[in-house]
Structure 1
Amino acid sequence: MRVLALIGTILLALGLTSGVAAGAASGHHTGLLPDGATWVADVPASWNGTTILYSHGFGPLAAQDAPDDETRTALLGSGYALVGSSYSGPSWWALASAVDDQFGALAAAGRLTGRPRRTIAWGTSMGGLVSAREAEDAGHRLDGVLSTCGLVAGALNLNNYQLDGEYALAHLLAPGQDVKLVRFASPDEASASAAALTKIATDAQGTPAGRARIALAAALMNEPGWFTGPTPPADYAGQEVQQQQELSQFVLGFVVTGRYQVELAAGGNSAFTAGVDYRALLTGSSHARQVRSLYRSAGLDLDADLATLTRDAGIRPDPQAVRTLARTSTATGRLRVPALDVHTTADQLVPVEQEDWYGEQVRRAGAGALLRQAYVGATGHCAFHPAETIAALHALESRIGTGRWGDAAEPGRLNEAAGGTGRFVRFDPPSLTGARR
């Protein structure tokens, strides 16, 4: 008996057991990975054999194993083990290390619980991009991936369309003001630019011309015309009001300061305006009719503004930064396991248009049968009810268990699985404006 117990201990330490009851390993665990990242795991006493590898979003490098406390409690109560790492950096944009750190955390948790019967990667926001990349490097470690509000179009697209909108704000509304948009030397420099752009967008709201140009910048940034309220405004003017509120109250302060973190990780600026045809960009935007209408109401020449943006565009990328983000922070679409993406229809930080770009990448890679995308008819970044994301998790589990999607990821089934409280809708996301890959 002592020999058998010793063998069991050795197998557990090596992570070679399968379907081990986790009673002895239950509780809250933390640890340190070789590269300095921390990890955290929560294991219920009655483990159901499934481990969820959770990837957190952009922000401080602190280990998390669930998107929020309510979801964590529900998952643990249903028997799931949860694990996640902090990532090791070097900045909050930690894509260079995140996938390895996450798999390192998974291995560390496996040494406590034994080998899971099933492992699902789940990421939110930037973590959704982490999970998308994990799905391309799953090996035998993952059975499926859930991405919620995921930044699945990657850093190169993100940096480009955000820069397009920021450039339009600065150049059309404050042409005499020297607002730095890229290559920030410090967090303070980025914060100063964010404050300057926020003031520009706030001051311009007072005139019809200012509102028209704000709508143009918002269109280039893929900003939805729905920020608050139970339903989106029906008229173009009302949509612009909400876009201006998004930009001035939330988005600019976040994304401009965030650019410093991305540049720090990339070793330079990956975005560009030089050579961009801004008339063509707007033509491809789902907000083009709104912009044209507001320009007509303001008595402004839209063609002249677009020509000015195209003529004066001069920001060029740093090639090494482009290569770094292409390697670390871009999804190829070459899925190796089933994946379910969930997005709100109006997301201010990670536009739902990213799903259109990502879906096309997956189809081009020949992996379309593995991907399903579902949409919650709501406004806000990651603004899901816990029941909605857990319903999506169960849909993914159905696909893993049966080998087919069936109608598991259809709105009706997801709403039913969410206890009748789900807000899933049929939705076809528009094309991502500013996507240059």
Structure 2
Amino acid sequence: MTPSSLITSLLSAPAAQAEPAVARLTGTLDDGATWIADVPADWNGTLVLYSHGFGSLAAQNAPSEAVRAELLAEGYALAGSSYDPNGSKWALASAERDQFATLDAVTAKIGEPEHTLTVGQSMGGLVNAQLARDGAGRIDGALGLCGLVAGGTDLDNYQLDAEYTLARLLLPGEQVELVGFGSAAEAADTARVLTDAVTAAQATAQGRARIALAAAFLNLPAWAPDQARPAADDWAGQEEQQYAWFASGVLSFIEGGRYAVEQSVGGNNSWNRGVDYARLLARSVHAPQVRALYRSAGLDLGADLEALTDGAEITADPAAVRTAERTSSAGQGLAVPLLNVHTTADALVPVEQERRFGDRVRAAGAGALLRQAYVERQGHCTFTAAETVAALRALEHRVTTGHWGSAATPAALQRAATALGLGEAAYVVYRPAPLTVGRDRQGGGR
């Protein structure tokens, strides 16, 4: 169907619809992935390809219903795939391929767009960064939302540091399985054991100090949802809010995600053998908090860090590390402009990932194509429709004019978002701390 015949058929359809006339197109790719596309009758010529996050492997074409409705009303066509539904929920082995195949399938039906933009959220933000790296001639620009852009191995490594700290310091002498899960049930058991240990430890000053140490390794923000931000030197208040993240079930999500990553890459891709935990803490923005809580609890921080270092014997499967580097990494360069947006207090994908990613992109010589912006809010992917649409428009400005200008600055994004009338906006000037991960090179193999 050509664009003109598609639009003609839409305009002749009954008008008893709450939203502008939209054609829903669907299809199935060779690997079993499904795709969907929504094309408004007054298509403006821009196709937006959406990469969804970790979880259900169902085709999605927008980060929220509010964003979907606004973009369709403005004339954008929207598309997205499920990724291959036959494997792991960490679908990085197929996601980039399936998204490019979806572009081919959709454009075969509606014609070539004037511009193709990609949007990706959470795990889909990593997919989106890969599309921006590899999409020369196929896409024109990319928008990442709360993207897991440090990649799968960095993710599993800093999470391992936190899990290992909880197990060794809160459950001394107990054997807690931290890697190499054989089933989702095993991962859930580990999450339960560690969460119960955190809950018990919160009752004592010594336990709270050790929770703060694990939180530092997890890059866990000290500002939790529905709470006022604690003062910069309110060490106890910061730990209380980090505990709130743990109590909300963050470890269940982490362990379930680890099982899915290991399924996808064929083994354990994380390690702590050779990690110096004193040096690791020194790199953390939360180090002053940890030191203060240890002092007030009468604990020897140096002894705990030495015990962690001495007991660090977990090794990775080298083949799994190589697979993760091939399928689940980004930052090796950019072929098109990329704007990444992140909330400043994200417990699932810490904002520090943006610092790690930006350093890699600049080292690859592609820094001029990258812009990063920040929304002052707690939670993972808790953007308003106004913030998302304003970011997409800033990306469009870069695509159509060939330069960023001031469009992606916090002030410009805030003005643009506020003017939309689609909800509040909280763009701020912000620079993330370095990611506390402590592994600059791949390693840890048997």
TM-score by length of 2: 0.92
Structure 2 residue 56 is the aligned partner of structure 1 residue 57:
no
SS at match of 2:271: coil
Q: What displacement does 1:68 show?
A: 1.1
Matches within 5 A, 1:147-162: 147-162=144-159
Aligned partners of 1:317, 1:248: CA distance in 2, in Å? 29
Q: What displacement does 1:396 show?
A: 0.4
Q: What displacement does 1:250 show?
A: 2.6
Give 1:423's aligned residue: 426
Aligned partners of 1:345, 1:367: CA distance in 2, in Å? 24
Aligned partners of 1:228, 1:140: CA distance in 2, in Å? 41
Q: What displacement does 1:157 show?
A: 0.2
Matches within 5 A, 1:202-213: 202-213=199-210
List per-residue Cα deviations over 1:386-432 (Å, max 9, x = no partner).
10010000000001111111110111111111125320000010000
Q: What displacement does 1:333 show?
A: 3.4
Give 1:70's aligned residue: 66
List per-residue Cα deviations over 1:353-390 (Å, max 9, x = no partner).
00000010110010100000000011100011110010
Give 1:39's aligned residue: 35
Aligned partners of 2:438, 2:320: CA distance in 1, in Å? 17
Give 1:87's aligned residue: 83
List per-residue Cα deviations over 1:100-155 (Å, max 9, x = no partner).
10111111111221100000010000000000001111031100000000000000
Q: 2:226 aligns with which of 219, 226, 229?
A: 229
Aligned partners of 2:119, 2:413: CA distance in 1, in Å? 17
Code of the residue aligned with 1:39 in structure 2: it is W
Code of the residue aligned with 2:293 in structure 1: it is L
Q: What displacement does 1:230 show?
A: 5.7
Q: 2:436 aligns with which of 424, 433, 436?
A: 433
Code of the residue aligned with 1:271 in structure 2: it is S
List per-residue Cα deviations over 1:64-90 (Å, max 9, x = no partner).
001111111111001000000000051
Mind listing any 5+ residue stretches in structure 2 that lack a counterpart? Answer: 11-21, 441-446
TM-score by length of 1: 0.94
Give 1:120's aligned residue: 117
Give 1:297's aligned residue: 296
SS at match of 1:136: helix
List per-residue Cα deviations over 1:326-374 (Å, max 9, x = no partner).
0000113310000000000110000000000001011001010000000
Give 1:99's aligned residue: 96
Give 2:314's aligned residue: 315
SS at match of 2:248: helix
Kept in 1, the 8 Å contact 2:57–2:83? The answer is: yes
Q: What displacement does 1:22 show?
A: 4.1
Kept in 1, the 8 Å contact 2:230–2:237? The answer is: yes
Matches within 5 A, 1:346-425: 346-419=345-418, 421-425=424-428
List per-residue Cα deviations over 1:263-309 (Å, max 9, x = no partner).
00010000011110000100000000000000000000000000000
Aligned partners of 1:151, 1:110: CA distance in 2, in Å? 28
Q: What displacement does 1:229 show?
A: 3.3
Percent of aligned positions that are identical: 56
Aligned partners of 2:195, 2:64: CA distance in 1, in Å? 30
Structure 2 residue 130 is the aligned partner of structure 1 residue 133:
yes
Q: How many residues are paired up?
A: 422
Code of the residue aligned with 1:206 in structure 2: it is A
Aligned partners of 1:343, 1:198: CA distance in 2, in Å? 27
Give 2:177's aligned residue: 180
Mind listing any 5+ residue stretches in structure 1 that lack a counterpart? Answer: 1-8
Aligned partners of 2:202, 2:161: CA distance in 1, in Å? 19
List per-residue Cα deviations over 1:144-203 (Å, max 9, x = no partner).
000000000000100000000000001001012221100001111111001111101111
Aligned partners of 1:121, 1:20: CA distance in 2, in Å? 26
Aligned partners of 1:119, 1:413: CA distance in 2, in Å? 23
Give 2:17's aligned residue: none
Kept in 2, the 8 Å contact 1:345–1:377? The answer is: yes
Structure 2 residue 246 is the aligned partner of structure 1 residue 247:
yes
Kept in 1, the 8 Å contact 2:52–2:120? The answer is: yes
